[in-house]
Chain A
Amino acid sequence: DGGITQSPKYLFRKEGQNVTLSCEQNLNHDAMYWYRQDPGQGLRLIYYSQIVNDFQKGDIAEGYSVSREKKESFPLTVTSAQKNPTAFYLCASSYFGGEETQYFGPGTRLLVL
Chain B
Amino acid sequence: EDKVVQSPLSLVVHEGDTVTLNCSYEVTNFRSLLWYKQEKKAPTFLFMLTSSGIEKKSGRLSSILDKKELFSILNITATQTGDSAIYLCAVRNFGNEKLTFGTGTRLTIIP
Interface residues of A (CB under 8 A from B): 4, 31, 33, 35, 40-45, 48, 50, 56, 58, 90, 94, 96-97, 99, 101-107
Contact = CB atoms under 8 A, between A and B. Distances in A.
B25 interface: no
B75 to A, nearest CB: 20
B68 interface: no
Contacts of A35: 101
B69 interface: no
Contacts of B104: 42
Nearest to B32: A99
A102 to B, nearest CB: 6
Given A99-B32, A105-B42, A94 B48 contact: no
A66 B41 CA distance: 22
Given A99-B32, A99-B50, A101-B48, A107 B101 contact: no
Interface in B46-68: 48, 50
A58 B69 CA distance: 27
Contacts of A96: 97
B49 to A, nearest CB: 11
B9 interface: yes
A44 B90 CA distance: 11
B91 interface: no
A42 B43 contact: no
A101 B88 contact: no
Contacts of B32: 99
Nearest to B47: A101
